[in-house]
Structure 1
Amino acid sequence: MLTVTADTLRSVAERIFVAAGAPAENARTVADHLVTANLCGHDSHGVIRIPYYVSQIRSGHLDPKARASILRETPTTALVSGNWAFGQVAAADGTRIAIEKARSAHVGIVSIVQCNHVGRLGEYVEMAVAEGMIGIAMVGGLRGLGRCAAPYGGIKGALSTNPIACGIPSADGRPIVIDFATTVVAEGKLQVLRAKKEPAPAGWIRDRDGNPSTNVEDFYNGGTLAIFGGHKGYALSLMAEVFAGTLGGIEQYQQGRISAGTFLMVFDPGAFRPVAEFAGDVSALDDELRAIPPAPGFSEVLVPGDVERRSRAQRYVEGIPVPEDTWERLQKTAGELGVTV
C-alpha cells in the first residue's frame, strides 16, 4: 500500500484527463471530485476510476469536452442531457440548475439522462448545502451490464446499486450528509478488494446461481450484489430506479449505451421558516444525538457525515492510501497518454 498526498493525486488525475482530451475546467472538476472521494474515505469512487474513464473516452462512450444542456424545463423542473460528458461534470451542471431554480422558486428538480458515472453522490447534495439548501439525489435506471443487484427474493440482477443521498445544512458547519448505495456496498468497494486481492465479507455477494460467496470474482462472473435491509432496502432501490431512471424516460435516450439516470432535488428551507432558525434546530438535534450514551461495542454516537469529515481531515494531513495495483494501473494509463507520474 502506497501513501500519496491529495495534491499529488489531483495533479496526476488532472494531467491524465487533459491528455485524454478534456478541457482544463472539466479535467479539474473530475480530478477534484475523485480526490475528494478518496479524502472522504470512499476509495471506491476515487482515483481507482481513472483508467475506466479513460477507456470510456477511447471507446467513444464518454465525450471529455461535453457539458450538460437543458432539453425541457419549467420554472421548477428541468430535463437535462448529460451529453455523454464526464458524469461528474454533468451532475454538477445539473445541480447548479436545480440550485438556481430553488433560489427563485424555492424548489428545483432535475432529471439527467445520457449521463455517465457521476461518482460520489454526496458531492452534489453538499453543493446544495453550501448554498444553505437541502439537496436530495438518486441514481438509477442503469441497464445492460449494470444490472448487478437482484430484487428481494430473486437471484438474477435486475437493479443496480441505486444510491441515495441527502444533504441538510446546520448552523455549526457540520451538515448532515447521507449517502449510501441501496446494495450492501457499492460495486466500487469490490473493485478496491479486487485491487488488494482480498475476499469480500460474508453477505456482500452471491454467485451466478444465487449462492452466498466471498470470492470477488464470483460477482464479476455473473453474480449479484445483495440489497441491504431485505424487503425495505429493495423498496428504496426501486424508488431510486423510478425517480432517477423511469421519471426522465432514460431508455428513450440510451442510444445503445450503458448508462444510468440521475435525479436531483434542491429546496430552500426558507420557504417554510427562517433559514437560520432551521439550521440552528438541525444543529441542536445533532448535539442531542451525539450526547446519547454509546451502546456496548460503540465509543460514541455519530451523525451521518461525521465519518467523512474526520477522514477528510486525517487523510489531507497524512496522505491517501492507494493500493499498489491501483497505482500501477494509473501509471500505465498515464504512460499511454505521455503523462509522467
Structure 2
Amino acid sequence: MAVNSKIELADERIILSVDKVNKLLINLFISLGCSKEIAFEISEHLIDSSLCGVESHGVFRALQYKKWYETGYLSISPKPKLRELSSNTYEIDGDGGLGIPVMNFAFKKAIEYSEKNGITATAIKNIGHTGRLGYYADYAANKGLMTILISGGNRKDWSQVAPYGGIEGKLPTNPWCIGFPGGKNGSVVLDFATSKISGGLIYAAKSAGGLLPEGCIIDKKGNLTRNPDHYFDGGAILPFGKHKGFGLSLIAQLVAESMLGEIKKEANWLLIAINTSTYNTRNQLKEFADKILSDVINCETAFGFNDIKIPGEIERNNKVNSDNKIYLPKKTWEQLITIVSKQNKKL
C-alpha cells in the first residue's frame, strides 16, 4: 500500500507488521508501569490510527507518551470517576491519566445511557492526550448513535494556534468530532482540528526529520514556513478556514474553560450522544442515509478529482487496504527500538 502522507521525508520508510509493532508498544507501556489492559488499549489505538493513515495520531505518539509518563505529567495508574450531575448529564474525572482509556470508557457509558434515555451530555476532565477522535465516533455511530465531541485545551501549555489576523499562538488546536450512522458504506465521521494541521503532525514531522505542508505554520515573525523547528522556536499554526476555524476554536475554548471549569491537564471535553432511534428506526435511518450519500457522491467531479469522498471514508479505505502493514518513518522506528531497549535494561 502506498503511503499518502502529509510529511515530506528526507529519509525512507520501513514496512512493519502490526504484530511486531504491537509487541513493541505493549512492551514499552508495561515497562513504564501501565497495566497489561491499559498497554493493550493504547497500542491498539495508536496502531489503528496508523493503519487508517492518520500519521499525526499514530505509532509515533508512543514517544510522547513515554516522556509524559516518565516526567509524571501522566498518571501511571489513574482511577477515573464518573458522577451524575443531573438528569442525563455526567462528569468523568480521568485522574490525570492518558485520555485514550478514559475516552473509551466515556463513549461506552454515553452509549449505554443514551440507549436508555435518548440523549446524554458528558464532561470529561483531567486527562491527557486522547488519540484519534474519529476512532470513538465511528464506534458509537456503528451502535446507532450520533455523537458530538468538543475540546478546549489548556492555554497555559498549548497556545499553539494564532487567531485569524494574528501571529502569536493564543489557542490550542481545539478539535471537533461529529459521528453519524451511515448506510451500507459505513458511518460518517468528521474529525478535525480547528487549525490548518494538528499539533501532532508537527511533532511527527520533527520526529521523522521531515517538512510540513505549505501554508500551515508561521515562524515567530509571521512568515510562512514548512520547517517544524520554526514552530518550536516561537512560531504558530494558522487556523483553518480563516475566521471560520478561529470561531469554532473560540467557541470550543469557551465551552471547555468557562462552562466546564478549570483545565487541569491537556483539555476539557464535552461529549453529546444522541440515540438516533429516538427519532427514526435504524432501518429507516440507514435507508434515508444511503439515498442522501448516494446522491451526494454521484456528482460530476472537478478537475484533479476522481470521486467524492464521504468524511471517514478515506480512513476506512486506508485500513482495509493496509494489509495489516504499517509504513513508519525509519527514524521514528529507530527511536522506538532504542527507548524500548533502554527500558528493558532498567528492569
1:263 paired residue number: 270
Instruction: For residues 267-294 of structure 1, give each alpha carbon's deviation from its aligned partner in whole angstroms, at most 9, with x where no partner exists.
Output: 0111212222112211221111121121
Q: Kindly state the Cα deviation for residue 23 of structure 1 after the two structures are TM-superposed.
A: 1.0
Q: Give a deviation string over 1:163-198, Cα, whole Å, max 9, x none.
A: 111111123141111111110010111222223323
Q: How many residues align?
A: 334
Q: How well do the aligned residues superpose, as a CA RMSD in angstroms?
A: 1.7
Deviations, residues 244-263 of structure 1 (Å, cap 9, x unaligned)? 34321134xx2xxx521122
Deviations 1:86-123 (A, max 9, x none): 21011111112221221111111111111100010111
Pairing 1:55-66 to 2, within 5 Å after superposition: 55-66=67-78
Note the residue ranges of structure 2 that are not aligned, 5 or more in a row.
1-12
CA contact (8 A) 2:56 2:200 kept: yes
* Identical residues among aligned pairs (%): 27
Of 199, 203, 206, 2:211 maps to: 199
The correspondence for 1:292, drawn from 296, 299, 317, is 299
Once the two structures are superposed, the pairs formed by residues 307-318 of structure 1 within 5 Å of their partners are 307-317=314-324
Is 1:249 paired with 2:256? no
Letter in 1 for 2:276: P
Contact 1:77-1:98 within 8 A present in 2 as well: no
Q: Which residues in structure 2 correspond to 1:322-333 (within 5 Å)?
A: 322-333=328-339
Q: State the alpha-carbon separation in 2 of the partners of residues 15 and 34 from structure 1.
A: 14
Cα pair 1:95 1:110 within 8 Å, conserved: no
- In structure 2, the partner of 1:276 is 283
Which one of the candidate residues 50, 57, 63 is aligned to 1:51?
A: 63
TM-score by length of 1: 0.93
CA shift, 1:71, in A, is 4.3
State the distance in 2 between where 1:4 and 1:329 align.
Answer: 15
TM-score computed with the length of structure 2 as normaliser = 0.92
Q: Which residue of 2 aligns with 1:212?
A: 224
Greater share of strand residues, 1 or 2? 2
1:91 aligns with 2:103: yes
Find out whether 1:178 has 2:184 as its counterpart: no
SS in 2 for 1:99: helix
Superimposed CA distance per residue, residues 283-326 of structure 1 (whole angstroms, 9 cap, x where no aligned partner): 22111112112111111111111110111012234x11111111
Q: CA deviation at 1:27?
A: 0.9
Give 1:137-176 correspondences, 5 Å limit.
137-176=149-188
For 2:53 and 2:210, locate their aligned partners in 1 and report how far apart those are by CA, in whole Å.
18
Aligned to 1:337: 343
Does the alignment pair 1:187 with 2:193? no
* Corresponding residue for residue 40 of structure 1: 52
Whole-angstrom distance in 1 between the partners of 2:140 and 2:257: 22
Residue 108 of structure 2: SS of its match in structure 1? helix
- Letter of the 1:54 partner, please give it: K
Amino acid at match of 2:269: T
Conserved? CA contact 2:145–2:273, under 8 Å: yes
Shift of 1:35: 0.5
